[in-house]
């Protein structure tokens, strides 16, 4: 055990390793992996058992660091950085518990919210209108939130918590904290504002052994201007009374104060606080018009004892295995936790339940999918695939070969393939998909490739044309911009089976698109499509195999969680000659550094692109839009460069023009983009053998222009 790790030195070592491309740097005394292994072997004191076990796992992982691939190293370093930050926070929190500060107790005394006398009297299935503490009026309000039974209310989780559980002395107040103060009333006043006759102000000055503070509450409305009501407020907080006050510490021109605090009079300084909004973690619920936070909070308190009647679906052995608290304890503490530690445990248990049920649903879906459908079986070897390997100007990486083997094994199964291929940009996912497409074609089936945008669909189309022209296989592109005459021709060819491969956007799922014999569906950037959209494309065939692709970096364990009904393959190796991608996070103040990096890259003949979350400005979201940022960059930041604009609302022609001429910042003088024609696919001269016609010789294909080589970005 070590007393205190050198947190800063550990994080610095991890950051430098990431900057240098995860190359296992050699320091003055140790290699990077040796230093990390040694550091993680010295487990700090004050950590809980779960954190100690994690330190041991990282020690073992860094011992294997030299044998890991680039992506595995990257994932391990990123995980270690995040874990160390969380571990440091936990260590410091426990360290602070050793320090004796002010005599004021750190956590206020609050009443127990779950009454033992209510146990068994309220059941989860009881309607809310039958609960005495809620009543008919409040139950009607809760129905607006679609809460009808006790169970509904128990599982109506807060979206956040206001932490008033920290009790401090007045002299220890810091702006921005949420705290609870306990002190004696020194003076009280309640009056109508001289500037606004509809605003009443209650001022209470309290003091403890360390100082005093003035607290103000504001009441809007003429009914509060009544002198009798104001006198009643003054009597509620008599001078000399002990009060507890909770709120957010703010600084104004008079000094520090609490923002519109909740105040409760106590019998004595050691008394328990009765209010559910003072001195504790206060839940913040999603609300709707006419339903106040107090109504929901008080209703939850009234039924909280019914959590003990809930049946925990997880057996004790499983809870012990994953260090999970019981369901009753989790429900009670997700609403009114005693501190942040128990709140974290409650969230962890309930999140585990959500993912657990999600996985059960995925498993049920996968079981039903395999049980209900029988897929076509495609041969993993054949003339087309062999020819494709011959014309490829490069060798597949080991990762690509592994994924291809997994896909071809799926295609031989009588169960429809449902596989996700995840790989970084440039890792070679498209080549893998092409081999699957060829397996379908050589078995006399059709294949469809769907992409979320016209630009991406055309990129796939151009790449496929360049390869398929050499194999005498026709391929067409169908998007929203496809001309009517061409569209009719594609509809006819795809319906008769003359066209074996169709690339497109959402246009592929239109009712007018009818495949002759669809055997394989390939979906790129699958997260950009809804479940219904993906299903509609699958329904155009009789239980076709489905291959989805994504470049979003997802750790394998998370991918299996998010896509439990899919088999997951990862291409974790870049082809030879591809540069590793270096990712750096900058703050808003460091924006000029990014601009200087762009200028340096452009000076070397390269390009850069900037991605924004919105196309146009939004009143609801305080983020930059592509249109306004394009104008600012063009006029103020990069006036010497051509700055293009590309987004999904542009026409296909404008998108192609913008993507080719200046995807997004290009060095050189401004000039019009060169005109390029779309490559024409090879065409079959004879009908497909799948229609029952005798096989005939095919005429030589009309080979169109190959796809233009993309510019370096």
pLDDT digits (tens, 9 = 90+) for 638-665: 888 888 888 766 665 555 555 554 434 4
Give backbone dihedrals phi and psi of 328, rounded to 5 degrees, phi first. -60, -50
d(CA 378, CA 374) in angstroms, rounded, equals: 13
pLDDT at 28: 73
pLDDT digits (tens, 9 = 90+) for 367-412: 776 666 666 777 767 788 999 999 898 899 999 999 999 999 999 8
Mean of pLDDT values over 549-570? 70
pLDDT digits (tens, 9 = 90+) for 408-467: 999 988 888 888 898 888 888 999 999 999 999 998 999 999 998 888 999 999 999 999
d(CA 379, CA 435) in angstroms, rounded, equals: 12
Mean of pLDDT values over 29-33? 84
pLDDT at 621: 43
Kindly indicate the confidence band of residue 123, based on its pLDDT and cuts at 50, 70 and 90. Answer: very high
**E strands along 572-706, which residues?**
607-608, 665-666
- Residue 66: CB atoms within 10 A of its CB come to 12
| SS3 assignment for 474-503 | CEEEECCCCCHHHHHHHHHHHHHCCCCEEE
pTM for the structure as a whole: 0.54
Give backbone dihedrals phi and psi of 417, rounded to 5 degrees, phi first. -65, 140
Mean of pLDDT values over 302-331? 92
Q: Residue 27: is it exposed, middle or buried by C-beta count within 10 angstroms (0-12/13-18/19+)?
A: exposed
pLDDT at 517: 92
Beta-carbon contacts of residue 658 (< 8 Å; ≥ 6 apart) = 644, 645, 646, 650
Q: Among 711, 704, 193, which residue's Cα sits nearest to residue 461?
A: 704
pLDDT at 424: 83
Helix-helix angle 429-441:398-411, to 10 degrees? 30
pLDDT digits (tens, 9 = 90+) for 225-272: 899 999 999 999 999 888 999 999 999 887 899 998 999 888 766 666
For the chain, how many residues are written? 713
Kindly indicate the confidence band of residue 557, based on its pLDDT and cuts at 50, 70 and 90. Answer: low
263 and 209 Cβ atoms separated by less than 8 Å: no
pLDDT at 103: 43
pLDDT at 556: 58
Residue predicted with more confidence, 12 or 554: 12
Residue 606 token pair: 């390269």
pLDDT at 617: 55
What is the bridge-based pairing of β-strands 475-478 and 501-504? parallel
Strand arrangement, sheet containing 242-252: 211-220, 199-208, 178-192, 242-252, 255-266
> Could you identify the residue written with the tokens 């290699």?
31
pLDDT at 4: 64
pLDDT at 616: 59
Nearest 10 degrees: Cα torsion 538, 541, 542, 548: -40
User: Has residue 2 got a pLDDT over 70?
Assistant: no
Residue 78 token pair: 């990123």
116 and 68 Cβ atoms separated by less than 8 Å: no
Mean pLDDT score across all residues of the chain: 81
Q: What angle do CA 580, 581, 582 make, to 5 degrees?
A: 115
Q: Among 562, 543, 541, which residue's Cα sits nearest to residue 553?
A: 562
Residue predicted with more confidence, 664 or 185: 185
User: Has residue 44 got a pLDDT over 80?
Assistant: no
């Amino acid at each position: 055990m070590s007393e205190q790790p050198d947190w800063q030195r550990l994080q610095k070592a991890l950051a430098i390793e990431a900057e240098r491309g995860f190359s296992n740097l050699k320091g003055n005394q140790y290699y990077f992996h040796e230093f990390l292994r040694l550091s993680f072997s010295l487990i700090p004191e004050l950590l809980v058992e779960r954190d100690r076990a994690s330190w041991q796992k990282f020690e073992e992982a860094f011992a294997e660091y030299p044998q890991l691939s680039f992506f595995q190293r990257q994932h391990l370093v990123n995980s270690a950085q995040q874990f160390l930050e969380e571990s440091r926070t936990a260590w410091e929190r426990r360290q602070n518990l050793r320090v004796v500060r002010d005599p004021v107790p750190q956590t206020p005394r609050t009443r127990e919210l779950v009454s033992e006398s209510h146990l068994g009297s309220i059941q989860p299935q009881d309607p809310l209108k039958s609960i005495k503490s809620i009543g008919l009026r409040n139950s009607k309000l809760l129905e607006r939130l679609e809460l009808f039974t006790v169970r509904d209310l128990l599982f109506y989780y807060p979206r956040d918590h206001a932490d008033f559980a920290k009790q401090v002395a007045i002299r220890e107040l810091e702006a921005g904290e949420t705290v609870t103060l306990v002190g004696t009333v020194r003076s009280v006043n309640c009056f109508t504002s001289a500037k606004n006759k509809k605003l009443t102000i209650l001022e209470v000055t309290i003091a403890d052994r360390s100082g005093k503070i003035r607290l103000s509450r504001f009441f809007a409305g003429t009914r509060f201007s009544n002198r009798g009501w104001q006198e009643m407020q003054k009597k509620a907080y008599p001078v000399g009374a002990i009060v507890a006050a909770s709120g957010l510490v703010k600084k104004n021109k008079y000094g520090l104060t609490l923002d519109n605090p909740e105040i409760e009079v106590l019998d004595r300084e050691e008394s328990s606080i009765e209010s559910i909004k003072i001195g504790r973690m206060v839940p913040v619920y999603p609300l709707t018009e006419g339903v106040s936070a107090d109504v929901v909070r008080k209703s939850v308190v009234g039924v909280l004892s019914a959590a003990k009647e809930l049946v925990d679906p997880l057996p004790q052995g499983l809870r012990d295995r994953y260090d999970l608290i019981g369901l009753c304890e989790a429900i009670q503490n997700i609403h009114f936790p005693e501190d942040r530690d128990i709140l974290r445990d409650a969230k962890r248990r309930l999140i585990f339940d959500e993912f657990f049920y999600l996985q059960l649903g995925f498993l049920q879906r996968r079981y039903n999918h395999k049980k209900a459908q029988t897929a076509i079986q495609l041969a993993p070897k054949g003339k087309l695939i062999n020819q494709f390997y011959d014309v490829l100007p490069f060798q597949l990486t080991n990762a690509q070969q592994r994924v291809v083997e997994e896909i071809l094994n799926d295609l031989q199964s009588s169960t429809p393939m449902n596989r996700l291929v995840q790989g970084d940009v440039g890792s070679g996912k498209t080549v893998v998909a092409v081999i699957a497409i060829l397996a379908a074609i050589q078995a006399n089936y059709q294949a469809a490739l769907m992409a979320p945008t016209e630009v991406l669909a055309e990129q796939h189309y151009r790449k496929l044309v360049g390869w398929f022209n050499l194999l005498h296989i026709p391929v067409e592109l169908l998007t929203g911009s496809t001309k009517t005459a061409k569209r009719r021709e594609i509809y006819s060819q795809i319906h008769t089976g003359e066209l074996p491969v169709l690339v497109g956007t959402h246009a592929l799922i239109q009712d007018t698109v009818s495949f002759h014999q669809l055997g394989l569906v390939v979906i790129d950037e699958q997260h950009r499509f809804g479940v219904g959209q993906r299903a509609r494309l699958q329904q155009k065939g009789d239980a076709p195999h489905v291959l989805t692709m994504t470049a979003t970096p997802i750790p394998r364990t998370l991918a299996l969680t998010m896509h439990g009904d899919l088999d997951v393959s990862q291409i974790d190796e870049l082809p030879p000659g591809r540069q590793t991608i270096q990712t750096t996070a900058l703050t808003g103040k460091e924006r000029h550094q990014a601009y200087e990096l762009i200028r340096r890259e452009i000076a070397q003949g390269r390009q850069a692109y900037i991605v924004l979350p919105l196309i146009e400005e939004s009143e609801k979201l305080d983020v930059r839009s592509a249109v306004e940022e394009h104008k600012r960059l063009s006029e103020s930041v990069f006036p010497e460069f051509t700055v293009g604009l590309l987004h999904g609302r542009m026409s296909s022609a404008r998108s192609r023009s913008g993507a080719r001429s200046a995807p997004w910042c290009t060095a050189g003088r401004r000039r019009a983009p060169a005109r390029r024609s779309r490559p024409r696919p090879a065409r079959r001269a004879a009908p497909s053998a799948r229609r029952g016609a005798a096989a005939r010789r095919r005429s030589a294909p009309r080979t169109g222009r190959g796809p233009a080589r993309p510019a370096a970005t």
